[in-house]
Structure 1
Amino acid sequence: MFSIGPFAVRSRVLLAPMAGVTDLPFRQICRHYGVGLATSEMVTSDTRLWQSDKSRLRLTYSAELAPVSVQIAGSEPDMMAQAAIECVKLGAQIVDINMGCPAKKVCKKLAGSALLQDEKRVAEILTAVVNAVDVPVTLKTRTGWSPENRNGVTIARMAENIGIAALTVHGRTRECRFKGQAEYDTLADIVQNVSIPVIANGDIDSTDKAKHVLDYTGAQAVMVGRAALGNPWLLQSIAHTLEGGNTESVEKKAPSWIELNEVITAHLGELHKFYGEYQGVRIARKHLSWYAQTLASLGAGNFDTRHFNALETPQTQFEALRAYFEGPNSYEEKAA
């Protein structure tokens, strides 16, 4: 357990905010499986654009478990400050600043990780947001702009001095995007140079990897991103291990067939409810594709994603899922 401002984070496993993925239904599932903090999808700092359906849904926190953490992205200090104020009005208890996203459409606006090449602008944004709100402000960043310009320690020291309450560092530079392997030497240096909590992010895809990264860097927690897609059970395994559980035993204890059915079916229903039938059906397709990969890795029967992706109504999606789980499958025998 560690703290972000006045909030106790009771698990050392956090969920990474991922645009188009970590919506409220998915965050709720991940919190159920042991995540201590699940930050919302990134929202633009331009509040004039918040009237769109996409932004409206990303700014929905009424059913969120505390502490509610909301991520904002932008490049103008005043706009970032105003966005933080509005997020707090809507229920945010922690405001997270995105300086880690490597996506071209974000970086071309000099937001996300593109800001790391302009330390003066970084300081202005952090100062504006910290001074604008009375809730903790956190920062998600990378190890630097490029492998030749790893200024992560400089950014971290600056952030702490300005008043950032916690720092998440992805073990790649902006230039690396998601290519190659994450490196944790810079992250370990950052931990040694600041006293605020540091969360390690990047390639955390197993219980062994999570434990190794924490031991190697001295970070307070790990943040899991892509490895959690369709596999919230991994989060539970990591949380159990980091709390002192046995790694081997927890990884051998796969979810039961009944649990797989219940979680995936419930997630499907929540997506239909949250987005409405038309959009919910389409959002569900990518999540079922990720679940299908997890089912395959567990040795369960093949789930026909091509057929599922052609379905146009909630009813037919439920029927396809029910037929799969009620059909012949030797998963229980394999998991026993």
Structure 2
Amino acid sequence: MVNIGTIQLPDFPLLLAPMEDVSDPPFRAVCKANGADLMYTEFVSSEGLIRDAAKSVQKLDIFEYERPIGIQLFGSDVETMGECSRIATRANPDLIDINYGCPVKQVACRGAGAALLQDIPKMVRMTEAVVKATHLPVTVKTRLGWDESTKNVGEVAERLQDIGIKALTIHGRTRVQMYKGEADWTLIGRIKDNPRIQIPIFGNGDIDSPEKALEYKNRYGVDGVMIGRASIGHPWIFNEIKHFVKTGQHLSPPTVADRVAVCRQHLDFSIRWKGEVVGLFEMRRHYANYFKGLPDFKPYRMRLVTMDSYSGVSAILDEIQETYLVELV
């Protein structure tokens, strides 16, 4: 078992990464159903939460079937982060996570996310404020460092463990790298091997297949892995990895019928949670991912992203299933 405070996870747990505009409750629902062990909300702005901004408050929506679930917070002000931790705690998640890894300009250039990797003393003060403001386990997600010359995550791991965080997830790139190039897990493995580190260490970055998950488990010794982009349109990846780690065998890939069924589940939840107009609109970013690789799919995608009624989208999904079941036999 892997323990995060009082939270018990299975051996080598698989975590769903918090992804802005992706890991909302509808997406989390299909990932949980397909094997995700621990999930996080989209990252929540501390300033937005303090101001009671509707978008930030909505991100606190969590459901019993999602547990264990963490709310991820980001911000640039120490006192504000402490206060928003108290607000987030009242939403009754299982843990609070702090985002020190987001590299995008809108976050990092405002002194939040990965920007804190340039000011470790402030990162420590901010983390301590969050830890003191909640009775829940606090975890952190970060990167190797700001750039190649400042890969300071080893110091970060020790100092944040000392003030009470219960787990650390490390993305194997610097902020300057953004999402380019190959993730480097070497330093993640060294931190896991550090005898001072007693908390779980999770690796993140480029896990896109069962083979890679098992390879990195064995090579770097991490307690588990966090999966982000590879789960978009393919939530089956969690169960695929679990089966491969356990048996060394591959699960059969999802059929067209499987893809349609999960896409429809995602759509149904999206509409229940957001209403038909918004739910339909926000699902448009997912269709191409669910049906990636199907030959000559573009006409269907164009119809899906322009259809403005649930019944219309549902009819197109039925047509996709019928068409490709025949063509791919």
Report the TM-score when normalising by structure 2: 0.94
CA distance, structure 1, for counterparts of residue 112 and residue 53 of structure 2: 21
Q: Is the CA contact 2:231–2:237 (under 8 Å) kept in the aligned structure 1?
A: yes
- Which of 239, 244, 247 aligns to 1:245? It is 247
Alpha-carbon distance, 1:63 to partner: 4.1
Matches within 5 A, 1:312-331: 312-330=308-326
Distance 1:37 1:328, change over 3 A: closer
- The residue that corresponds to 1:255 in the other structure is 254
In structure 1, C-alpha distance between the alignment counterparts of 2:214 and 2:247, rounded to whole Å: 11
* CA apart distance, 1:324: 1.1
Runs (5+) with no aligned partner, structure 2: none
Matched, 1:207 2:210: yes
User: What amino acid is the match of 1:254?
Assistant: P
Q: Does the CA-based 8 Å contact 1:300-1:331 persist in structure 2?
A: no
**What is the CA-CA distance between 1:56 and the residue it aligns to?**
3.0
Identify the range of structure 1 (269-278 vs 17-26) with the bigger mean alpha-carbon deviation: 269-278
Answer yes or no: is 1:276 the counterpart of 2:282: no
What SS does the corresponding residue of 2:289 show, helix, strand or coil? Answer: helix
Confirm or deny that 1:86 pairs with 2:81. Answer: no
Alpha-carbon distance in structure 1 between the residues aligned to 2:173 and 2:257: 39
Residue in 1 aligned with 2:266?
267
DSSP 3-state at the match of 1:286: coil
Partner of residue 115, structure 1: 116
1:65 Cα offset (Å): 2.2
Q: CA deviation at 1:149?
A: 0.8
Q: CA deviation at 1:330?
A: 4.1
Query: 1:1-336 counterparts in 2 under 5 A?
Result: 1-10=1-10, 12-46=13-47, 47-52=49-54, 54-193=55-194, 194-242=197-245, 244-247=246-249, 249-250=250-251, 253-293=252-292, 296=293, 302=297, 304-330=300-326, 333=329
Give the structure, 1 or 2, with the largest relative contact order (CA under 8 Å, sep 6 or more): 2
Using structure 1 for the length normalisation, give the TM-score.
0.92
Is residue 205–residue 227 contact of structure 1 (8 Å, CA) maintained in 2?
yes
The letter of the residue matching 2:225 is: V
Give the letter aligned to residue 139 of structure 1.
V
Q: 1:34 to 1:331 in 2, by over 3 A?
A: farther
Decide whether the 8 Å contact of 2:29 with 2:266 is kept in 1.
Answer: no
Partners of 1:182 and 1:135 in 2: CA distance: 31
Cα deviation, 1:283-306, whole Å, max 9, x if unaligned, reads 11011121121xx2xx56626212
Paired with 1:49 and 1:22, the residues of 2 have a C-alpha distance of 23
Per-residue Cα deviation, 1:176-208 (whole angstroms, up to 9, x for no partner):
110110001111111122111000000000011
Contact 2:256 2:325 in 1 (8 A): no
Q: Partners of 2:289 and 2:259 in 1: how far apart?
A: 13
Looking at structure 1, the residues matched to 130 and 65 of structure 2 have their Cα atoms a distance apart, in angstroms, of: 23
Q: Retained in 2: the 8 A contact 1:35–1:239?
A: no
Q: Within 2, Cα distance between the matches of 1:135 and 1:319?
A: 45
* Counterpart amino acid of residue 6 in structure 1: T
Q: 1:311 to 1:49 in 2, by over 3 A?
A: farther
Aligned partner letter, 1:172:
R
Q: CA deviation at 1:64?
A: 4.4
SS in 2 for 1:219: coil
Structure 1 position 38, deviation (Å): 0.7
For 1:328 and 1:221, the matched residues in 2 are separated by 36
In the aligned structure 1, how far is the partner of 2:18 from the partner of 2:103?
Answer: 13
Letter aligned with residue 313 of structure 1: S
Cα contact 1:229–1:287 (8 A) shared by 2? yes
Using the alignment, how far apart are the partners of 1:104 and 1:257 within structure 2?
A: 38
Letter in 2 for 1:105: Q
The AA in structure 2 aligned to 1:241 is F
